[in-house]
Structures are given as C-alpha cells and as structure tokens.
Amino acid sequence: MRTLLLSASFLVLAGVSGASAHATFEVKEAAAGSTYKAVLRVPHGCDGQATLKVRVSIPDGVYNVKPMPKAGWTLETVTGAYAKPFENHGTTVTEGVREIVWTGELADAHYDEFVFRGSLGKDLAADSMLYVPVVQECANGAERWIQVPAEGQKDSDLDYPAPGIRIAPAKAGH
C-alpha cells in the first residue's frame, strides 16, 4: 500500500521535476517514522567533467542509514553521533552513519542513481521539508547540491538546491 502511495506521489511530482537537471530524489515524500529508500539521481557531471565522488550528508532526523553498494564504486561511510538520540523498538540509538561516500567514475554524458535507506524520525514535523545535502566531486571542482531555500524562497530560486523530501504526517499504528 505504501509503495503504491509513494509511487503515486512520485508520478504526481515527476512532472514537476522531470525536466530538472539538479540532483534529486526519485521519491519526494515520506512519512515521519517511516523507512525511506532514497534513490539519488545524478543527471550530469561538473561542467562537462566526469563525477569521481558522490558524497551525501545525512541530516539530523534521519538514522539507521545503510547505503547500497554499487558495482564499480568504492563505498565508504563516516559515522558520528546524532544530534538527538532515536528510540528504535525499545533501544536508544545515539550514533550512526552521517556521511556516505561513493568513489568511482560517472561520465558527464551518463546518468546514474545512488541508493541508500534510512529511518525518518518520528519527530519530523508534518509538511516540513527534509533536505539532504549532496556533493558531486570532479577533477576540476565540485557541484554542491547543498542550498536550502530561505524563508519565502522556492527550490527554483536556487542555483544548487539540495535534494529534499516532504514529510508526510506519521501514520498511526505503525
């Protein structure tokens, strides 16, 4: 049921972001307290250069992050303490993955997806946006998808918006 719901929301949102050349998530909405499978879509390199590294910073409010290994890419994670501990089925989780680094090569002419999974905290406010800063590093520099809109701004006002997901209200009974 959830898959159906997410798929539906994806279809709705796909039209909006389909033409975008920004780094985005395939699924743009998830409920607080749910497990979210992030599919990060990397549409191009840095000014024509191949991407050599994809770095994802795990924002506060997300825990139990597990990246999916990727053929041809080395996978590393950086762990650290969470800003706030999470209660996960009776256990308290205080630290975990804070950054994921895939190292490999993605030509500018090619497209690829980078996948990880994580739990969204129950405290995340409904209808708020959760932004996940992503940096593509190339030989000649970096594309930093890290901009977060200020009050009154939209993603479209930004040159390098961070990919984000809208938090749907937590479902009762989970």
User: Does 164 contact another protein by CB under 8 A?
Assistant: no
CA nearest neighbour of 136 among 103, 97, 98: 103
By the 8 A CB rule, do 74 and 87 touch?
Answer: no
Q: Which residues of 21-43 are buried (b: 16+ CB within 10 A; e: fewer)?
A: ebbbbbbbbbbbbbebebebbbe
The DSSP output letter for 147 is: B
Q: How far is the CB of 150 from another protein (least distance, A)?
A: 4
Residue partners of 152: CB distance under 8 A and separation at least 6: none
User: Does 55 contact another protein by CB under 8 A?
Assistant: yes
User: Does 144 contact another protein by CB under 8 A?
Assistant: yes
User: Does 57 contact another protein by CB under 8 A?
Assistant: yes
Token representation of residue 126: 């409904």
H helices of the chain, in order, are 2-17
Q: Which is nearer to another protein, 33 or 149 (CB)?
A: 149
Stretch that binds another protein, among 32-40, 60-68, 105-113, 148-156 (CB under 8 A): 148-156
Residue from 3, 18, 151, 172 in contact with another protein (CB under 8 A): 151
Residue from 9, 49, 64, 147 in contact with another protein (CB under 8 A): 147
Inter-CA distances, 43 with 25, 69, 145, 151, Å? 11, 19, 12, 27
Residue from 135, 138, 165, 167 in contact with another protein (CB under 8 A): 135
Stretch that binds another protein, among 5-13, 69-77, 146-154, 163-171 (CB under 8 A): 146-154
Residues near another protein (CB under 8 A) are 55, 57, 133, 135, 144, 146-148, 150-151
